[in-house]
Amino acid sequence: MIYLDHNATTPTAPAVVAAMLPVLSSVWANTSSQHGPGQDAKRVLSTARATVARVLGCKPVEVIFTSGATEANHMAVRGLLAASPSGRRRVLFSSVEHAGHLRLARALASAGVQVDFMPVLADGTLDLAATASLMGPDVALVSLMAANNETGVLMPVAQVAELAHAAGALLHVDATQWVGKLTFSFNSFGADAVSLSAHKFQGPKGVGALLLRQGVPFVPQTLGSQERGRRGGTENLAAIVGMAAALEMLGDVNVEAARQTQLRDRLESGLTAALPETHIWCQDVPRLPGTSYLRFGQLSVDVVLQRLDRLGVAASSGAACSSGGSEPSHVLNAMGVNTEDALAAVRFSLGRTTTLDDITSLLNTLPPLLKPMLHEEMPIPCAAGITAP
Ligand code: PMP
C-alpha cells in the first residue's frame, strides 16, 4: 500500500509501540493512588510530561494531557472564554478551521456567544486586514489553526498574536498539523494556548495536549483532580508515554521537511506534466512540506479515489458527503472556489514513511488511468460520508 493520507493520521512508529507496551503490561496502576505501584505510575507520568515539555519548549506545568486535539480545542475555547472578563464575550475563529472546531463555533453562536469569522484570501492565506478590523475591546479570544489540514497553508500566527494581544485578547492555536512537521517551541510561538495531537506525528491515537501558558486564567471543563484540576479523568498513561516517545523521535524536523518538500514537488511536477488539466491549490504560498491539494480538471474525486484505491494508494477527498450528494470542502468554499472544482479536490499528504519509490510508482500508474477519463468527466455520486480529517 502507498499511504498518502498522513494529514488524516500517521502510522504508529515502532519505537512508540515499544515504549508503550511495557506501560500497558506493567505500569497499569492509577497515578492518583497512594500505594507503591500508583506512585511508580505517577513517576512515569511525570517523566513523560518532562519530555513533552522539553521537546515542545514549555514548562511541565503548562502541559495538560487530553484525548487529542478535538478535546484540547474545545477545552481551550470554552475554558478561556469562561475565564475572560465580563466585557469580553466575542470569539474569532478562522473560516477554515478543522470541521470539528467549526462545529464548536456554531454551538457557541447558538448559545448566544458572539462569534465572528476571520476570512481567507483566494490563495488560502488568512486575510490579515479583515482580521485586524475584527479585533476590538470586546474580543475575549482568537482561535486560529497553525496549518490547514486540507490545503497545508500556514497561518500567520505571530502577526495574529500581535493583533490579538494589542486588543487585549488571548490567542489559542490549533497546531495539530504543524507539530512534528515544522519547528515548534511554545515559548516563542506567541500563543497563549496550543492544541496538538499525537497521532499526527506517529504517536498513538486518542492522546494529545493543550499547552496553556502559566498564569493565564482558565476555567476547567472536565472536572477532576488530575492535571492539576484542569482536566479530570484517569490519565491514559501508555498513550502519554507513546506521545512522549513520538516527540523525542522527531529529531531535526527541518531535515525531514526538506525531504518531503522535494517529494511533494516531484509529485506535483510529474502530475502536471503528465496531465496538464491538473490544478494545484495554494502552490505559491507557504504550506506544509508534504501536503498537496489538487484537482484533475473537474474529474470527480470519487472517480479518482476509486482508481487510486485500485492502485493501492490511499489518499483523501476534500468533499463531505451527505445523503444524496457531496458537499464541497468548507476550506475551498472559503477560498471562493466554485462547487464543480471543489468537488474534484484530492488531497495527497506525505509523511515520514513516504519514499521516492512511492511517488515514482504513483506517477507511473495514475496518469494513464485518468487520461482517457479527463475527456469524459462523468461525475459519480459520493460513496463515503466523511470530510478529510
Ligand atoms: N485539528 C486539525 C487541524 C486536525 O487536522 C485534526 C485531525 N484531523 C484535529 C484538529 C482533530 O484531532 P484529533 O483527531 O486528535 O481529535
- With a cut of 60, say whether residue 18 has pLDDT above it: yes
Q: What is the pLDDT of residue 64?
A: 98
Q: Are residues 285 and 180 in the same domain?
A: no
Q: Are residues 196 and 316 in the same domain?
A: no
Query: Cβ of 2: how many Cβ atoms within 10 Å?
Result: 20
Q: Are residues 152 and 290 in the same domain?
A: no
DSSP string, 332-383: HHHTT--HHHHTT-EEEE--TT--HHHHHHHHHHHHHHHGGGGGT-------
Q: Are residues 260 and 243 in the same domain?
A: no
Domain presence at residue 381: no
- With a cut of 80, say whether residue 320 has pLDDT above it: no
Query: Cβ of 111: how many Cβ atoms within 10 Å?
Result: 8
Dihedral of CA atoms 342, 194, 238, 7 in degrees, nearest 10, equals 20
The C-alpha cell 458572539 sits at 114
Structure-block grid coordinates of residue 134: 475584527
Average pLDDT over residues 254-258: 98
The ligand 1 atom at the shortest distance from the C-alpha of residue 8 is 8
Q: What is the pLDDT of residue 388?
A: 63
Residue 316 CA, ligand 1 centroid: distance in Å: 15
- With a cut of 80, say whether residue 265 has pLDDT above it: yes
Q: What is the pLDDT of residue 389?
A: 73
Residue 204 CA, ligand 1 centroid: distance in Å: 13
The ligand 1 atom at the shortest distance from the C-alpha of residue 206 is 15
Output the CA–CA distances (angstroms, integers) from residue 209 to 46, 59, 282, in the order listed: 14, 13, 29
Residue 176 CA, ligand 1 centroid: distance in Å: 6
Bridge partners, 281 (sequence order)? 293
Average pLDDT over residues 356-368: 98
The ligand 1 atom at the shortest distance from the C-alpha of residue 208 is 15
Mutate to test the pocket of ligand 1, among 7, 12, 66, 70 (most ligand atoms within 8 A of CB): 70
Torsions phi, psi of 301, nearest 5? -60, -30
Q: What is the pLDDT of residues 164-220, one digit of tens each?
A: 999 999 999 999 999 999 999 999 999 999 999 999 999 999 999 999 999 999 999
- With a cut of 60, say whether residue 305 has pLDDT above it: yes
Structure-block grid coordinates of residue 86: 465580563
Nearest-CA residue for ligand 1 atom 5 is 149
State the Cα–Cα distance between residues 90 and 95, nearest whole angstrom.
15
Q: Are residues 130 and 182 in the same domain?
A: yes
The ligand 1 atom at the shortest distance from the C-alpha of residue 72 is 16
Q: Which residues contact 8 (CB under 8 A, 6 or more apart)?
A: 316, 349, 388, 389
Q: What is the pLDDT of residue 354?
A: 98
- With a cut of 70, say whether residue 380 has pLDDT above it: no
Domain presence at residue 386: no
Q: Are residues 244 and 287 in the same domain?
A: no
- With a cut of 90, say whether residue 272 has pLDDT above it: yes
Coil, strand or helix: which one is 127? coil
Pairing verdict, β 325-327 and 170-174 = unpaired
Q: How many helices (H) and strands (E) does the chain have?
A: 13, 15
Nearest-CA residue for ligand 1 atom 12 is 69
* CA-based end-to-end distance of the chain: 20
Residue 8 CA, ligand 1 centroid: distance in Å: 8
Q: Are residues 34 and 107 in the same domain?
A: yes
Domain presence at residue 366: yes
Nearest-CA residue for ligand 1 atom 16 is 70
Coil, strand or helix: which one is 280? strand
Structure-block grid coordinates of residue 2: 502507498
Q: Are residues 121 and 239 in the same domain?
A: yes
Residue ending a domain, among 248, 270, 294, is 248
State the Cα–Cα distance between residues 209 and 239, nearest whole angstrom.
11
Nearest-CA residue for ligand 1 atom 8 is 389
Mean pLDDT across the chain: 95
Quote the Cα angle for 340-151-384, to 5°: 55
Reported as a pLDDT band with limits 50, 70 and 90, residue 16 is very high
State the Cα–Cα distance between residues 127 and 13, nearest whole angstrom.
37
Residue ending a domain, among 227, 248, 269, is 248
Q: Could you list the active site residues?
A: 321
Instruction: Report the CATH number that the domain containing residue 69 is assigned in CATH.
Output: 3.40.640.10
Q: Are residues 204 and 261 in the same domain?
A: no
Q: Are residues 170 and 302 in the same domain?
A: no
Spatial contact of 20 and 245, defined as CB atoms under 8 Å apart? yes
**How far does CA 13 lie from the centroid of its chain?**
19
Q: Which of 114, 49, 124 is nearest to 84 (CA)?
A: 114
Structure-block grid coordinates of residue 99: 470541521
Residue 71 CA, ligand 1 centroid: distance in Å: 9
Residue 202 CA, ligand 1 centroid: distance in Å: 14
Q: What is the pLDDT of residue 379?
A: 52
- With a cut of 50, say whether residue 386 has pLDDT above it: no
Q: Are residues 66 and 136 in the same domain?
A: yes
Mutate to test the pocket of ligand 1, among 5, 177, 179, 207 (most ligand atoms within 8 A of CB): 177
Which residue range is the domain that position 336 belongs to? 252-374
The ligand 1 atom at the shortest distance from the C-alpha of residue 68 is 15
DSSP code, position 200: G
Domain presence at residue 24: yes
- With a cut of 80, say whether residue 357 has pLDDT above it: yes
- With a cut of 90, say whether residue 385 has pLDDT above it: no
Mutate to test the pocket of ligand 1, among 71, 176, 181, 287 (most ligand atoms within 8 A of CB): 176
Q: Are residues 97 and 152 in the same domain?
A: yes
Pairing verdict, β 291-296 and 346-349 = antiparallel
Domain presence at residue 7: no
Q: What is the pLDDT of residue 327?
A: 86
Instruction: Report the CATH number that the domain containing residue 353 is assigned in CATH.
Output: 3.90.1150.10
Residue 364 CA, ligand 1 centroid: distance in Å: 32
Reported as a pLDDT band with limits 50, 70 and 90, residue 324 is low
Strand locations in 80-219, DSSP E? 90-94, 114-118, 139-145, 170-174, 193-197, 208-212
Bridge partners, 143 (sequence order)? 93, 172
Half-sphere exposure of 57 (CA within 13 A, CB side): 12
Structure-block grid coordinates of residue 198: 499525537
Structural domains of the chain, count: 2
Mutate to test the pocket of ligand 1, among 98, 101, 236, 317 (most ligand atoms within 8 A of CB): 98
Q: What is the pLDDT of residue 326?
A: 76
Q: What is the pLDDT of residues 28-84, one digit of tens each?
A: 999 999 999 999 999 999 999 999 999 999 999 999 999 999 999 999 999 999 999
Ligand 1 pocket, CB under 6 A: 68-70, 98, 100, 145, 149, 174, 176-177, 197, 208, 389
Residue 362 CA, ligand 1 centroid: distance in Å: 27
Query: Cβ of 104: how many Cβ atoms within 10 Å?
Result: 21
Q: What is the pLDDT of residue 249?
A: 97
